[in-house]
Amino acid sequence: MPSATLQPGSRIDGFTIVEVAHRGGMAKLFSVSHPDYDFPLLMKVPAVGGGADPATIVGFEMEQMILPRLSGSHVPRFVASGDFDQQPYIVFERLPGQSLYHRLEMLPLGQAEVADLGARIATALADLHRQDVVHLDIKPSNVMFRETGEAVLVDYGLARHLHLPDLMDEEFRLPYGTAPYMAPEQILGVRSDCRSDIFALGVLMYFFATGTRPFGDPQGMKGLKKRLWRDPAPPRALRPEISKPLQEVILRCLEVNPARRYPAAAQLAMDLKDLSKVALTARAEKIRRDGLAEALKRRFNPDPIELLKEKTAREAQGKAPIVMAAIDLTDSSVDLAEELRLTLQRILDNTPNARIACFNVLKINRIALDKEVDETGTNLHVARLVQLKHWAEPLRSPESTITHHVIEAVSPADAILEFARQNLVDHIVMGARAHSTIRTLLGSVSGAVATHAPCTVTVVRRRSKRGG
């Protein structure tokens, strides 16, 4: 059945066309129903008539290969697909609401909303990259949200699955993408670096925070390549009320060299969830674009673009983990503290792109009113934060790779687990207390964390002292 004849009431492989949901230049979306599925469905049908762009057909083939291999709340649920020899289509769940494209008329947005949107999209990217897929077309129209708040990334026609043939790269020489959001390496033909999606998200956040696209909307290769050497106006030059931490985050995402961006989307999400923890650099202080002389220097003597050497996005993420160091500051054991620091230092030495989140729980009572200050009148939360920073001082690492977090909670184990889940932690390192009656009766925090953690847990014990 040719796509031109599809109309309400038409049936394809058991799916019934209900109505046209969207007409685009590359495909039509139909609302469809099927007796075997009790949730809303969309059918995507490519435009394959006379004069169709070959890239449309190849991109649809890519989406047919990639979407069935994806899972989780950050992608639309795949249902079925049809071949080109009869009727090409893809059926997937219909998400509620509208894409971010419909927010463009409301720009610029407030800083808190931009950071929240960015964090949710970065979390979705982290999940996608763990499945070895680079989206390569992050833009407002390709971002939707579930009723529960999770960002959902749609449209995989330009995506690259690192375990599948890359038909777009094999069949076309020119780069494909949406001009305002394309990363420099993508413009140069590289389609395998997950940090390209981080660049695109940086463009989106810049646009939503300022109301202006950082690189305009160039239509030719000359205009596209200009972003390799010409920096955008700093966000705070356009909207002074934007904070330095948010500008730091956005401009780090927009670095020309991928090696200077966030090494992993999970680390970006972590910064956006708490801008107060962002380490500021010269990026945060910029109030104007670089001078013409500096820009021309970059144009004719460009820095080399450092690409990932790893074969998969998962391997790359493994070299940029978020490591949570759960520190019990009430344990006075010098030996255990030193063992914990040695373990963390080994991680930093072996994985320079690791992010260390030093974490401590300020335990509060369930019923009784807790004191907010100590005997000297110092705020307990502030005092604990200072103590945690002192604990981490011996670690040899750039300041931007270590953050400090004090959480007030009734249950230390629950607080550790919640932080790990919310921040996509890859590895928890924590100490084990010495044997005690209370620990034996009630169970240890480390035991509870090791049992329920969503990631690897290393429990460090103090070294036993041998006799002479």
- pLDDT of 41: 97
Residue 35: asked if its preceding bond is cis (omega within 30°), the reply is no
Going by the DSSP 8-state scheme, the letter that residue 264 receives in this structure is S
Amino acid 82: pLDDT: 93
Beta bridge partner(s), residue 406: 360
For tokens 């890519």, what's the residue? 62
pLDDT at residue 383 in the model = 87
How many angstroms separate the CA atoms of 321 and 8, rounded? 49
Other C-beta atoms lying within 10 Å of the C-beta of residue 257: 16
At 275 the pLDDT is 97
Helical pair 265-273 and 195-210, crossing angle rounded to 10 deg: 30
| Cβ–Cβ under 8 Å, residues 445 and 317 | no
Q: What radius of gyration, in Å, describes the C-alpha atoms of the chain? A: 25
Q: What angle do CA 224, 229, 232 make, to 5 degrees?
A: 80
Give pTM, 2 decimals.
0.90
- Per the rule left: phi > 0, alpha: psi between -120 and 50, beta: everything else, 189 is left
Give me the pLDDT at residue 248, please: 98
Q: What is the pLDDT of residue 95?
A: 95
* Exposure letters 5-44 (e unless 16+ CB within 10 A, then b): ebeeebebeebbbbeeeeeeebbbbbbbebeebeeebbbb
Grouped pLDDT means (10 residues each) for the chain, 468 residues: 71 94 86 96 85 79 95 97 89 95 96 98 97 97 96 96 88 85 95 96 98 95 94 97 98 96 97 96 96 91 78 75 91 84 91 91 66 67 89 83 90 93 93 59 75 92 61
Tell me how far CA of residue 238 lies from CA of 129, 207, 232, 248, 369, in angstroms. Answer: 32, 11, 11, 15, 46
Q: Which of 224, 250, 255 is nearest to 235 (CA)?
A: 250
Q: What is the pLDDT of residue 437?
A: 46
Q: Which residue intervals of 276-422 are DSSP H helices?
A: 282-285, 292-300, 313-318, 334-350, 380-392, 412-422
Specify the pLDDT at position 449.
Answer: 92
